[in-house]
Each structure stands twice: as C-alpha cells, then as structure tokens.
C-alpha cells in the first residue's frame, strides 16, 4: 500500500481525502509515536467508568495502526502503559492488561495480513507470565514481517530505558572513556529503531510523560486537542501534514 492507494479508498471529495491529498508520500516520517491520552476524560464526559474510555481507545489504536501501515510509515509506537501507570487503581490496571490481551488476540490476523512486525518496548519481565507469553508469541509470529514495525510501549519509562542501557553497558565491561552516544544507542530496547520524527500527544496536554526520552531529542511534537478515543485517521493525516510543514534544523541554522 501507499499514499495513493489510501487516497483511492477514501470517499472522493471527503474532508479525509482532502487532508490525505496534502500529504507528500515521499517525505513521510520514518517513525510516528503517539502518547494516547484522554481516555479517562472521554469516559467522564459520558458518565462512564474510566475503563470504557480505554475500551473505546482500542478503535483508535486499530485505526492508527491500519492507517499508518497503509500510508507506508515504517515505524509506529503507541504508549500503552507507563511504569508510573502501576499507581492507578488495581481494577483499572487489570482492565488495561485484559484489553491488551484481547487486542492482541483479535488483531493478530490483521498484523499478519498487513505484514506488520510487532514489538514491545519496556520492562516486559515485570508483566504477568500470561501477558509476557502472549506478547512474545505475537512478536515471534510477526518477527519475519517486513512491513511496518508496530511497537507497543508497555511498562515503559524513558528514564528506565536509559538506566537499563547503562546497566547493560557497565555489565559489558566497556571502559568509561569508550562510551559514546552510539554505545548508549546500541543498548536501548530496540537499538536499530529510527528516532521518532513525529510525536503526537492527544487530549491537549503538553508533556512527554517519560516517553522515549533518549529518542525524542529532535522529534517534532504535535499536540492535538482530540481525546484519544476520538482520534481517527483524519487526525493522523492532519498530524503528518502539519509535520511536513515544519522546518527541521537539528541544531543547525
Ligand atoms: C491515557 O489516558 C491512556 C492510557 C494510560 C492507556 C492507553 C490504552 C489504550 C488506548 C488501550 C489499550 C492499548 C492497546 C495498544 C491495545 P488517561 O487514562 O490518562 O486519560 P485522562 O488523562 O483523561 O484521565
């Protein structure tokens, strides 16, 4: 699939098609990362339990994954559960884990169909053995796929990732004066992953919340007022279109 195929499938003249037409297919971000925020507020606005916001967020996840894969975005990372999220009520944590398992089971065929490679970033070993197995099975089943790489950040913390990299470097016995940025990069959870070009945060909040701290050094940040359960493909098209209008200088003039 490519941008032109995506446009061909949209209703001609629709707002979505108009947005998609403004995207330059040759300058897509190599990596889009999304901080999925606002599920709780979405539920509160409807007098529903918070978990219903997460449940509705699954539709947005599905749409973000399929649309990114169809557009030809090489890597998509979704921030599903931070190390800090363990502080939430136990019932909400269990509901999130259950949703994740259900999502993996119901979407594996879609990942296979689109040739999507699934990866987890985060401290996987602190998750329950059942979840770990399910995640590893999905990673194994999609390991040879050459389409989009879809990462879920789970039990993830940007500082924890840097700490884990430092621990691995120390354990490898390399002397301090030999440690460079490349050394740190090569000990991250997915060393070969390109840095996010575009980080989207939904729900109007303007924080990084410990997300990919090493990797976002030069990412473009796009803050959307939309609550995550309302995030649809037109919002993604609009984010990519806005990203392509940014002037990126990477510290130069
Ligand atoms: C933040 O909204 C959202 C989360 C902590 C979880 C996101 C999880 C999902 C969308 C569902 C499961 C994900 C996958 C990939 C299957 P919030 O609860 O902090 O919202 P609030 O700020 O409005 O309270």
Q: Are 121 and 156 in contact (CB under 8 A)?
A: yes
Burial class (CB in 10 A: 0-12, 13-18, 19+), 232: middle
Mean predicted confidence (pLDDT) in 66-72: 95
Residue 67 banded pLDDT, cuts 50, 70, 90: very high
Which has the closest alpha carbon to 227: 95, 52, 73?
52
Query: Under DSSP, is residue 32 helix (H, G, I), strand (E, B) or coil?
Result: strand
Residue 251 has pLDDT above 90, yes or no: no
Alpha-helical segments (H) within 46-157: 50-71, 90-113, 129-142
Residue 145 has pLDDT above 80, yes or no: yes
Which strands sit side by side in the sheet containing 198-201, from one edge to the other? 117-121, 149-156, 75-82, 31-35, 198-201, 220-223
Residue 2 has pLDDT above 90, yes or no: no
Residue 182 has pLDDT above 80, yes or no: yes
Ligand 1: residues with CB < 6 A are 36-41, 54, 57-58, 61, 78, 80, 85, 96, 99-100, 103, 152, 203, 228
Non-local (6+) Cβ contacts of 133 within 8 A are none
Q: How remote is the CA of residue 96 from the centroid of ligand 1, in Å?
A: 8
Non-local (6+) Cβ contacts of 139 within 8 A are 118, 119, 120
Domains of the chain: 3-20+30-244 (3.40.1180.10)
Q: If you take atom 10 of ligand 1, which residue's CA is the nearest one? A: 57
Residue 154 has pLDDT above 90, yes or no: yes
Residues 13-29: tens digit of each pLDDT: 999 999 999 999 999 99
Residues 101-144: tens digit of each pLDDT: 999 999 999 999 999 999 999 999 999 999 999 999 999 999 99
Task: Look at the alpha carbons of 214, 217, 219, 220 in this order and tell me if their dihedral is positive or negative.
Answer: positive
DSSP sequence for 69-100: HHHT-SEEEEEEEEGGGGGS-HHHHHHHHHHH
Catalytic residue among 85, 195, 210, 230: 85
Q: If you take atom 13 of ligand 1, which residue's CA is the nearest one? A: 80
Residue 250 banded pLDDT, cuts 50, 70, 90: confident
> pLDDT averaged over the chain?
96
Q: 155 catalytic, yes or no?
A: no
Report if pTM > 0.95: yes
Q: Are 223 and 199 in contact (CB under 8 A)?
A: no
Q: Which atom of ligand 1 is nearest to the CA of 53?
A: 18
Mean predicted confidence (pLDDT) in 71-76: 97
Q: Which atom of ligand 1 is nearest to the CA of 44?
A: 23
Mean predicted confidence (pLDDT) in 37-45: 98
Q: If you take atom 3 of ligand 1, which residue's CA is the nearest one? A: 37
Q: Which atom of ligand 1 is nearest to the CA of 50?
A: 18
Percent of the chain whose pLDDT exceeds 70 = 100
User: What does the pLDDT read at residue 252?
Assistant: 86
Percent of the chain whose pLDDT exceeds 90 = 96
Q: If you take atom 11 of ligand 1, which residue's CA is the nearest one? A: 54
Which has the closest alpha carbon to 210: 159, 151, 170, 176?
159
Query: How many separate helices (H) and strands (E) can be counted in the chain?
Result: 9, 6
Q: 197 catalytic, yes or no?
A: no
């Amino acid at each position: 699939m490519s941008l032109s195929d995506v446009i061909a499938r949209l209703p001609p003249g629709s707002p979505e098609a108009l947005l998609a037409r403004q995207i330059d297919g040759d300058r897509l971000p190599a990596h889009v990362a999304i901080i999925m925020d606002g599920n709780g507020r979405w539920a509160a606005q409807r007098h529903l339990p918070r978990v219903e916001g997460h449940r509705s967020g699954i539709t947005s996840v599905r749409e973000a994954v399929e649309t990114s894969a169809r557009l030809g975005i090489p890597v998509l990372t979704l921030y599903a559960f931070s190390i800090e999220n363990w502080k939430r009520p136990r019932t909400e944590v269990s509901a999130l884990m259950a949703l994740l398992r259900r999502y993996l089971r119901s979407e594996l065929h879609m990942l296979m169909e689109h040739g999507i490679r699934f990866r987890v970033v985060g401290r996987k070993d602190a998750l329950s053995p059942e979840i770990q197995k399910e995640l590893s099975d999905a990673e194994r089943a999609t390991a040879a796929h050459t389409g989009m790489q879809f990462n879920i950040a789970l039990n993830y913390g940007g500082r924890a990732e840097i700490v884990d990299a430092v621990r691995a470097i120390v354990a490898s016995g390399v002397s301090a004066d030999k440690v460079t940025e490349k050394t740190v990069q090569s000990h991250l959870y997915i060393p070969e992953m390109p840095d996010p070009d575009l980080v989207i945060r939904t729900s109007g909040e303007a924080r990084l919340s410990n997300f990919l701290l090493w990797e976002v050094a030069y990412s473009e940040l796009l803050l959307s007022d939309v609550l995550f359960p309302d995030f649809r493909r037109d919002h993604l098209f609009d984010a990519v279109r806005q990203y392509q209008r940014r002037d990126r200088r990477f510290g130069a003039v």
